[in-house]
């Protein structure tokens, strides 16, 4: 990658740190709208009413949140496309939780829906996004499955802000970590780190838990880094730091 490729990414990272004072309220309101609607994304006028801000103020907040890598807006619109752990469009990960059905953008986000709602749920997906179906039941003490599972994170954490959609879509579930090399080569995708299901659940709770309130969305990079550390993810792969030019 050339210097010209890296500079825009670093600039986006710097812009993401300059969030407005009410952006966390807007982000929490996005999550709340997904929950209260049973999986449908909010419209900008609905968000404006929820947070008692003008439409223009909400628009500016959404754009800052998108630069931060917190949400994705559908191109050319103000419609929320992805707001982890929720996806507004069909995905490989279906979550039945607390009486409603949701789409999640990845395996981690699917666990995150249950963590955010604080309720038992059932996740259905396919191994590596291919053919073999897999079901994960999330109970009061965490997830269980018929066989051991791993969640593969393909993109290093420091690069998630560059492309939230790509980073999220490549977080897939596997029942054999030794099969990931062939999968990555077959689909020309990066080989990252495979994390056991239970450890990923702990990460989902730390990252997405409480996401219906503004406070978790105010966390600094160091706070999020601590979430990784608390889950035992101290590898350089999960270091949230600006990339050097």
Q: ω before 78 within 30° of 0 (cis)? A: no
Given pLDDT bands bounded at 50, 70 and 90, which one contains residue 3? very low
Nearest to 16 by CA among 240, 244, 245: 240
What CATH number did the domain enclosing 7 receive? 1.10.10.10
- Cα dihedral sign, 35-109-125-147: negative
Residue 42 inside a domain? The answer is yes
Residue 193 inside a domain? The answer is no
Nearest to 214 by CA among 74, 50, 98: 50
Q: Would the pLDDT of 238 be above 70?
A: yes
Report, as an integer, the average pLDDT of 141-159: 95
Residue 108 inside a domain? The answer is no
Average pLDDT, the chain: 90
- Nearest-angstrom CA–CA distance, 2 and 24: 34
Residue 55 inside a domain? The answer is yes
Of 3-7, 140-144, 168-172, which range is least confident?
Answer: 3-7
pLDDT digits (tens, 9 = 90+) for 165-206: 999 999 999 999 999 999 999 999 999 999 999 999 999 999
pTM score of the predicted model: 0.90
Q: Would the pLDDT of 7 be above 80?
A: no
Residue 201 inside a domain? The answer is no
Residue 61 inside a domain? The answer is yes
Count up the domains in the chain and report the number.
1
Strand 172-174 to strand 142-144: parallel, antiparallel, or no bridges (unpaired)?
Answer: unpaired
Residue 222 inside a domain? The answer is no
Backbone angles phi, psi at 194, to 5 degrees: -95, 125
Q: Would the pLDDT of 69 be above 80?
A: yes
Report, as an integer, the average pLDDT of 16-36: 87
For residue 58, the enclosing domain spans: 3-83
Given pLDDT bands bounded at 50, 70 and 90, which one contains residue 131? confident
Residue 141 inside a domain? The answer is no
Q: Would the pLDDT of 245 be above 70?
A: no
């Amino acid at each position: 990658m050339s210097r010209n490729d890296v500079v825009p990414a670093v600039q986006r990272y710097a812009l993401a740190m300059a969030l407005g004072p009410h952006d966390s309220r807007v982000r929490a309101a996005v999550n709340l709208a997904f929950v209260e609607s049973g999986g449908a994304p909010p419209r900008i006028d609905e968000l404006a009413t929820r947070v008692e801000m003008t439409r223009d103020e909400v628009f500016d907040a959404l754009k800052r949140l998108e630069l931060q890598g917190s949400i994705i807006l559908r191109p050319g619109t103000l419609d929320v496309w992805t707001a982890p752990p929720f996806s507004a469009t069909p995905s490989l990960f279906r979550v039945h939780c607390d009486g409603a059905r949701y789409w999640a953008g990845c395996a981690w986000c699917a666990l995150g829906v249950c963590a955010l709602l604080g309720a038992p749920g059932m996740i259905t997906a396919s191994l590596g996004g291919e053919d073999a179906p897999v079901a994960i039941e999330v109970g009061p003490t965490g997830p269980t499955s018929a066989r051991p599972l791993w969640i593969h994170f393909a993109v290093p954490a420091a690069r998630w802000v560059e492309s939230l959609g790509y980073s999220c879509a490549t977080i897939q579930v596997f029942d054999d970590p030794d099969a990931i090399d062939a999968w990555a080569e077959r689909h020309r995708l990066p080989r990252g780190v495979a994390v056991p299901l239970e450890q990923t659940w702990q990460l989902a709770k730390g990252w997405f838990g409480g996401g219906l309130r503004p406070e978790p969305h105010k966390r600094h990079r160091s706070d999020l880094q601590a979430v990784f550390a608390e889950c035992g993810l101290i590898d350089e792969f999960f270091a949230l730091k600006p990339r050097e030019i």
